[in-house]
Amino acid sequence: MAKVIAKNPGESEFHQAVKEVVESLMPFIDENPKYNHAKILERMVEPERVMMFRVPWVDDNGEIQVNRGFRIQMNSAIGPYKGGLRFHPTVNLGILKFLAFEQVFKNSLTTLPMGGGKGGSDFDPKGKSDNEVMRFCQSFMTELQRFIGADTDVPAGDIGVGGREIGFLYGQYKRIRNEFTGVLTGKAIEWGGSLIRPEATGYGAVYFADQMLKTRGQDLNGKIATVSGSGNVSQYAVEKLIQMGSKVVTMSDSLGFVYDPAGFDEEKLAFVLELKNIRRGRIKEYADKYNVQYFEGQTPWNIKCDVAFPCATQNEINEDDANMLIKNGCYVVSEGANMPSTPEAVEVYLKAKILYGPGKAANAGGVSTSGLEMSQNSMRLPWSREEVDARLHQIMINIHETCVKYGTEKDGFINYVKGANIGGFIKVADAMMVQGVV
Ligand SMILES: NC(=O)C1=CN([C@@H]2O[C@H](COP(=O)(O)OP(=O)(O)OC[C@H]3O[C@@H](n4cnc5c(N)ncnc54)[C@H](OP(=O)(O)O)[C@@H]3O)[C@@H](O)[C@H]2O)C=CC1
Ligand SMILES: O=C(O)CCC(=O)C(=O)O
């Protein structure tokens, strides 16, 4: 860790992600010294390649704007680099390296042949016109296209990158490279996308929670759920929770959260989708429309619930929030977001022995379905909604089984952090061992 910190100064999120993995992997590596001799971990914390580039574009007033673009190609031992693009003003090298590092383990857990990568820009799509977003995406892809390809590196969406952005990015890739390939996932269904990809991360986090509950002979029916965020992952976590009989009482955005004690239903969720995906408004409008409470500048973790789904961003649950969740009776946390719980919050969950599914396991449904989109693109054949959903569901069951296999402790407690880290590590490490010193 000292070396990682010294070599990557100021990248606190990257240090955090590496530390969590290293801490749970060290006992396993001590028992399997071959990984130590081959310096697997030292190699895994060093990206295979990092690209950083200028993204100039012209806004609607004719003024030139300059953003910074990135792509981190972290590890390709088990397949082409795969991972989303994030467009958000907070994006920097350290954040994308943490996301790329997590992605390596997550993609390995999916059982599909995908390496790990991540990219993005400090561009903020909020408040921009569609034309501005298009011009930015075209400039971003003009540079990115030289580093990616359907068998090399396949980006997708993440925060700030949804169907609209993937469309603009794909259009520019096709124009420059003159090829129609599966170079991006999250495409629209009419031009090579997969059914269920938009739903997959949220659905997957709910399927994972359901599997965790099954270990205690329970299910989601009748449970009170809190969800944070109101973007892609949150929207479909809420949809699946409603379908499974839970009562979802919160959603949020970066300005605050709404508390609806009667619970979201399909009609209310349709309002949120229209608000967020089309009008691109603020969640406060939900409180105004349905006459419920809105808590400005706050997160939903002090609301009483059985199950919590953090689906917004990293480090959105701190130690106090975690203590509050547990004090209020919450005993399941399934992370739709990447690293939404601080290390102190994770300590609280593990000490309380609740059912805690870390993001790299619980939110792997999104990238899994991206992998299924790649398969369909290679075959040039689309699968039905039922087929993709069944495959997604089975993958989440398999990931859960892997966590149980490597994370069950002597007293029977399932430490999903340990299970996901060891389960994700083995496949990548073994591939690296036989591929030589690369
Ligand atoms: N999309 C996917 O397939 C996958 C996404 N993830 C992870 O899920 C999380 C959400 O992604 P996604 O739903 O795609 O992104 P979206 O951009 O669709 O939605 C993000 C949501 O989180 C909120 N948010 C973003 N930043 C902050 C912040 N700093 N504080 C509070 N709220 C914030 C946003 O509010 P506002 O609109 O106000 O910014 C918005 O409600 C991320 O951690 C992402 O890495 C993980 C696996 C796959
Ligand atoms: O679908 C993908 O390729 C990436 C999804 C993603 O960015 C993630 O799992 O965090």
- Interval 139-194: pLDDT, tens: 999 999 999 999 999 999 999 999 999 999 999 999 999 999 999 999 999 999 99
Q: Is the CB of 158 under 6 A from ligand 2?
A: yes
The single-letter code of the amino acid at 233 is: V
Task: Report which ligand 2 atom has the smallest distance to the Cα of 197.
Answer: 1
Residues with CB under 6 A from ligand 1: 157-160, 162, 201, 229-233, 253-255, 311-313, 336-338, 363, 366
Active site residues: 118
> Angle at CA 238, nearest 5°, toward 235 and 241?
150
> Which residues lie below 8 Å from residue 128, measured CB to CB, with a gap of 6+?
59, 136
Mutation to probe ligand 1, out of 197, 203, 233, 272 (largest number of atoms < 8 A from CB)? 233
Nearest CA to ligand 1 atom 4: 158
Nearest CA to ligand 1 atom 42: 337
CA 84 to ligand 2 centroid distance, Å: 4
Interface predicted TM-score (ipTM) = 0.99
Query: pLDDT > 90: what percent of the chain?
Result: 100
Nearest-ligand number for the alpha carbon of 110: 2
Q: What is the pLDDT of residue 273?
A: 98
CA 65 to ligand 2 centroid distance, Å: 28
Mutation to probe ligand 1, out of 13, 114, 227, 253 (largest number of atoms < 8 A from CB)? 253
Q: What is the pLDDT of residue 256?
A: 98
- Interval 377-395: pLDDT, tens: 999 999 999 999 999 999 9
* Annotated binding-site residue? 82: yes
Q: What is the pLDDT of residue 79?
A: 98
Domains, the chain, with CATH or none:
47-184 (3.40.50.10860), 193-438 (3.40.50.720)
Structure confidence at residue 325 as a pLDDT band (50, 70, 90)? very high
The single-letter code of the amino acid at 88 is: H
CA 313 to ligand 1 centroid distance, Å: 5
* Annotated binding-site residue? 232: yes
Burial class (CB in 10 A: 0-12, 13-18, 19+), 328: middle
- Interval 215-245: pLDDT, tens: 999 999 999 999 999 999 999 999 999 999 9
Q: What is the pLDDT of residue 376?
A: 98
Mutation to probe ligand 1, out of 87, 124, 285, 313 (largest number of atoms < 8 A from CB)? 313
Q: What is the pLDDT of residue 112?
A: 98
CA 31 to ligand 2 centroid distance, Å: 32
Q: What is the pLDDT of residue 375?
A: 98
Structure confidence at residue 116 as a pLDDT band (50, 70, 90)? very high
- Interval 264-303: pLDDT, tens: 999 999 999 999 999 999 999 999 999 999 999 999 999 9
- Interval 199-221: pLDDT, tens: 999 999 999 999 999 999 999 99
Secondary structure, 3-state, the chain: CHHHHHHCCCCHHHHHHHHHHHHHHHHHHHHCHHHHHCCHHHHHCCCCEEEEEEEEEECCCCCEEEEEEEEEEEECCCCCEEEEEEECCCCCHHHHHHHHHHHHHHHHHCCCCCCEEEEEECCCCCCCCHHHHHHHHHHHHHHHCCCCECCCEEEECECCECHHHHHHHHHHHHHHHCCCCCCCCCCCHHHCCCCCHHHHHHHHHHHHHHHHHHCCCCCCCCCEEEECCCCHHHHHHHHHHHHCCCEEEEEEECCEEEECCCCCCHHHHHHHHHHHHHCCCCCHHHHHHHCCEEEECCCHHHCCCCEEECCCCCCCECHHHHHHHHHCCCCEEECCCCCCECHHHHHHHHHHCCEEECHHHHCCHHHHHHHHHHHHHHHCCCCCHHHHHHHHHHHHHHHHHHHHHHHECCCCCECHHHHHHHHHHHHHHHHHHHCCCC
Q: Is the CB of 253 under 6 A from ligand 2?
A: no
Nearest CA to ligand 1 atom 37: 253
Mean pLDDT computed over every residue of the chain: 98
Nearest-ligand number for the alpha carbon of 208: 1
Average pLDDT over residues 305-329: 98
Q: Which two tokens stand for residue 24?
A: 């749970």
- Interval 245-255: pLDDT, tens: 999 999 999 99
* Annotated binding-site residue? 215: no
CA 336 to ligand 1 centroid distance, Å: 9
Query: pLDDT > 70: what percent of the chain?
Result: 100
CA 80 to ligand 1 centroid distance, Å: 24
Nearest-ligand number for the alpha carbon of 155: 2
CA 113 to ligand 2 centroid distance, Å: 14
Task: Report which ligand 1 atom has the smallest distance to the Cα of 157.
Answer: 1
Q: What is the pLDDT of residue 430?
A: 98
Structure confidence at residue 311 as a pLDDT band (50, 70, 90)? very high
Q: What is the pLDDT of residue 265?
A: 98
Q: Is the CB of 83 under 6 A from ligand 2?
A: yes
Q: Which two tokens stand for residue 274?
A: 């229209």
